[in-house]
Structure 1
Amino acid sequence: MDHKLSIFKPEKAMKANLKRIRSKVQAWSFKRGASGCSDRRLMLRYFSGLIYAATGGFIPHASAQSQAFPTKPMRFVVPFPAGGGVDLVARTIAEKISNRLGQSIVIENRPGAGTAIGTEIVVKSPPDGYTWLVSPVGGQGVLHAMKAKLPFDARKDLVSVGRIAYGTVALVVPASSKAKTVQELVAMAKANPGKMTYASSGTGALIHLTGEMFKLAAQVDMVHVPYKGTIQIIPDLIDGRVDMALDSLPAYLPHLKAGRLRALAVASRQRSALLPDQPTMAEVGLPSVVSFTDYGMFAAAGTPQDIVNLMNKEMLLALGLEDVKAKLAAAGIDVAPSSPDQMRAELIDEYKKWAGVVKAAGLKPE
């Protein structure tokens, strides 16, 4: 089938065709006898062509695998807890890819250390195409900007498979907050320097630096409160134990609709279709606060390129399905697939961007 990486097995056809070729060689030799060198060269070219045609252009190679790919279940490692945007993206495409490839795909949530724990698992996995990382692309740049010593470098130790989608980042406060606008929130923070808090899904992760970006732009002093993931933030935010979160939108939507939380703005360049009444940061006077989640897929360096290309193809097919687009759009996630090369270029840009934010914020890599 077209979704399998199969190796052509031409043994029977080759034997029959080569038998016919041998008879032609014998006939040629009998007719020509010990002809000159030019005849021998002509004969070699002639029969080389016959052999190529007889084998269908297939020349056996010692590294050729006789089995199709995949032959066993695969796993998608997600460096965040279940229930967040990255988890939703991974589960949505895994279902479609699993159905096409005929193998189950296990979602393995490995949160912590600003995505470093989950990323390292994939980096250290065998590069055989059975372990994949679904993670923010920009998050890798943030991670390396914030961590002085890491046992890996995503630019060298991972291969880019392709970008999956972009997600909306929104500024969210408890329903009980006195702030009804971003301007009011900023005024409260300026009146209480060092007392108000903002939550993130982990120190050194994208959402942490988005909060720092907000502090720089608004010129406020707020305390960072890190959590292991978005799902852990929400109960404390609802109860008012933290004052705000500038976070990926999907997990917050049910609570926004239920009135337990309130969104004040989005950090994208355009308003969100899910929050059409909420302004962008540029509209509230903070144009430098631009952040979004960019979901991508990676594999361990050394993964065969044909397997990487297969997964990119399967990812593109999954993202082209209307039900997939609708499911992700309902969570504020816009499908935006790319080639491996395009995603790698984006990864390099994100490294530069977030290194600049860390320097401007005066943060010290851990």
Structure 2
Amino acid sequence: MHKRLWLRALGCGLAAACLAAPTHAQDFPPKKAVTMVVGFAPGGAADAAARLIAKKLGDNIGQAVVVDNRAGAGGNIAHQLVANGPTDGSMILLGSIGPLTIAPHMMKVGYDPFKDLAPLSGGVHFPNVLVVNAGAGIKTLADFVAAARKQPGAVTFASTGAGSASHLTGELFGQQAKVEMVHVPYKGGAPAMQDLLANRFTGYFAAPPTALPHIESGKLIPLATTGLARPAYLPNIPTVAESGYPGFEALNWYAFVASAKTPAPILDRWNQEIVKVLNDPSVREQLSKHGLTPHPTTRAELTDFMQKESVKWGAIVRDRKITGE
């Protein structure tokens, strides 16, 4: 009698374990190629970071990691795609400050960054650099502000899309400098840079990977950087903060997220793999050459960081009455 009861209990235990297996013992890496979605066109900062990191991730996990550029709506299209995407770990997103912490305050988006997307790890962060065409006749930040005050609305600034970091950086600067500038949105850093080189607008709070080659060639003039300290790759260019706007800081950043429906063991494993890559000396060196600082975090740390950024930029959106139109 006791033996039959024991066998029955053992059978129930094995059945429960089998039922639990799909949730707690997911295969990793996924059996198919991994897609790393990027919300901007090829050639910009997000694309540069994604391709460097994807290559090393693929080498480490023994599975291809393919970068998929889904430009449009300031990166919101890519974020919605991943929020509704595969939940087996085969699709991750190099998310960005705009769609994750700014756009939801400005417009109706098809996802909730804190409910539909799950944090994996911080990615990279960096200050933007305000650049102008060498033929624009503007040499300093003071010149830029003077031009904006002389003809309100005549000075234009580009961004990688409505609600992007470059957009809100321009709005924050306009607020502090008390100038009105016209925003010109693009679908990524590369197309914006092409038009700046053609002198089709006044200035651009650009990401370092996009701007540095043209600064070095002399085609663009850097006026100021947007962090609190001067970056090592532009040691002679003042920050906005030290140019008459104390405390000004607007960091750009990218972070890794996935569909919130992905099982926690897979999310945790992706955190481990991404952190490993971002701490790799060779990867850090390559990112540094592009002006990007690796920023690996725990999943909880990324959530906390995103919440603080959401509060900060939400206040700017309301104060400047910014919409996605």
TM-score, normalized by the shorter chain, greater than 0.5? yes
Residue 286 of structure 2 is aligned to residue 303 of structure 1: no
Letter in structure 1 aligned against 2:21: A
Q: How does 1:169-188 map to 2 (within 5 A)?
A: 169-188=128-147
Q: Does 1:353 align with 2:312?
A: yes
Q: Which residue of 2 aligns with 1:106?
A: 66
Q: Are residues 1:333 and 2:282 paired?
A: no
The Cα of 1:138 is off from its aligned counterpart by: 5.3
Distance 1:78 1:365 in 2: 20
Q: Which 4+ stretches in 1 moved above 3 angstroms?
A: 65-68
Tell me whether 1:267 sits opposite 2:226 in the alignment.
Answer: yes
TM-score, normalised to structure 1, is: 0.82
One-letter amino acid of the counterpart of residue 125, structure 1: G
Give the drift of 1:357.
Answer: 0.3
Q: Where does residue 120 of structure 2 map in the other structure?
A: 161
1:312 and 1:129 mapped to 2: Cα distance? Answer: 11
Answer yes or no: is 1:223 the counterpart of 2:182.
yes
> Which residue, 232, 236, 250 being the options, matches 1:291?
250
Aligned AA (1:117): I
Report deviation, 1:235: 2.0
Alignment partners' CA distance in 2, 1:328 and 1:364? 33
Equivalent runs, 1:1-366 vs 2, <5 Å: 60-65=17-22, 68-69=27-28, 70-137=30-97, 139-147=99-107, 149-364=108-323
Residue identity (%):
34
Matched with 1:13 is none
> How far off its partner does 1:288 sit?
4.6
Query: How much does 1:332 deviate?
Result: 0.9
Q: Name structure 1 gaps, 5 residues minimum.
A: 1-24, 27-39
Are the counterparts in 1 of residues 76 and 99 from structure 2 also a CA contact under 8 Å? no
Look up the equivalent residue of 2:55 and give its one-letter code.
E
CA gap of 1:318–1:74, structure 2 versus 1, over 3 A, is: same
Summarize deviations over 1:53-101 as a string: whole Å, max 9, x none.
Answer: xx9x9x8332324873221111001001111111111111111111111
8 Å Cα contact 1:190/1:220 also seen in 2 = yes
CA contact (8 A) 2:79 2:93 kept: yes
1:138–1:351: 8 Å Cα contact kept in structure 2? no
2: CA distance, partners of 1:67 / 1:227: 40
3-state SS of 1:129 partner:
coil
Do the aligned residues in 2 keep the contact of 1:145 with 1:365 (CA within 8 Å)?
Answer: no
Alignment root-mean-square deviation, CA: 2.2
Aligned length: 317
The superposition leaves residues 161-197 of structure 1 with CA deviations (integer Å, 9 ceiling, x where unpaired) of: 0101212211101111222110111011111111111
For 2:192, give the aligned amino acid: I
Q: Is the 8 A contact 2:228 2:248 kept in 1?
A: no
Alignment partners' CA distance in 1, 2:289 and 2:26? 40
Kept in 2, the 8 Å contact 1:248–1:292? The answer is no
Contact 1:202/1:228 (8 A) holds in 2: yes
**Which structure 2 segments of 5+ residues have no match?**
none
Partner SS, residue 64 of structure 1: helix
Tell me which structure has the larger Cα radius of gyration.
1
* Cα distance between partner residues in 2 of 1:359 and 1:107: 34
Paired AA for residue 94 in structure 1: A
Moved more, 60-69 or 316-325: 60-69
Tell me the alpha carbon deviations over residues 210-237 of structure 1, each in whole angstroms, 9 at most, x when there is no partner. 1111111111121111111110011221
Residues 82, 259 of structure 2: 8 Å contact kept: yes
Q: Which amino acid aligns with 1:130?
A: S
- Letter of the 2:17 counterpart: P
Q: Deviations over 1:85-144 (max 9, x none)?
A: 111111111111111111111111001112111011101112111111102245411111
Q: d(CA) in 2 for partners of 1:199 and 1:365?
A: 14
How much has 1:247 moved relative to structure 2? 2.0
Q: Which amino acid aligns with 1:199?
A: A
